[in-house]
Homo-oligomer: A and B are copies of this chain.
Amino acid sequence: MALQTSNGSTSIRITEPLCAVFRRQLKAEGQKYTPERAQVLDAIIALDRIFEAEQVIEELRQRQHRVSKATVYRTINLLQDAGIIQRVLTEGDQAQYQLAYGESPSDTLVRLDTREVVDIDVPELAAIAERVCKDLGLRPQGHKLQIFAVAPNDS
């Protein structure tokens, strides 16, 4: 499960399933919650990690769900618009995303060995960002932190 907190403080409340959120957001835009879109979201939730479009397509294949590549890409963009997933910063060539709904998605810990991603809470970062901007006479517009780590017993 992607949702989790650190240091005991429960900063996340699960109020409703993501599919309900997605349906509501689509309705708000006059768009439809189709079976294909539901299947894409389900596949993404099942992946439960940073994912690329190709992995979603593969997951759908394994589930015997016939969703075209084009629809997967289109749905990924819709999910982004809805704030349910978001692109993560990457060095690679392909876009990567993670579930983001309901959390402050700016700070994550990435396990280089397993590719797992954990959202972390770094309360001091907002202040740091503001301080840095102030020093430079700029207006802060957010930040992204990725901390990289591996299992302690590796090589």
Chain A positions near chain B (C-beta within 8 angstroms):
6-7, 87-91, 93, 95, 109, 111-112, 118, 120, 122, 124-125, 128-129, 132-133, 135-152, 154
Contacts and interface: CB of A to CB of B under 8 A. Distances in A.
Nearest to A94: B93
A133 B112 contact: no
A114 to B, nearest CB: 10
A88 B90 CA distance: 8
Main secondary structure of the interface of A (DSSP, over half): mixed
A109 B89 contact: no
19 contacts: A6-B132, A6-B136, A89-B146, A109-B136, A109-B138, A120-B132, A122-B128, A122-B132, A124-B124, A125-B128, A132-B147, A133-B147, A136-B149, A137-B152, A139-B149, A140-B147, A140-B149, A144-B146, A144-B148
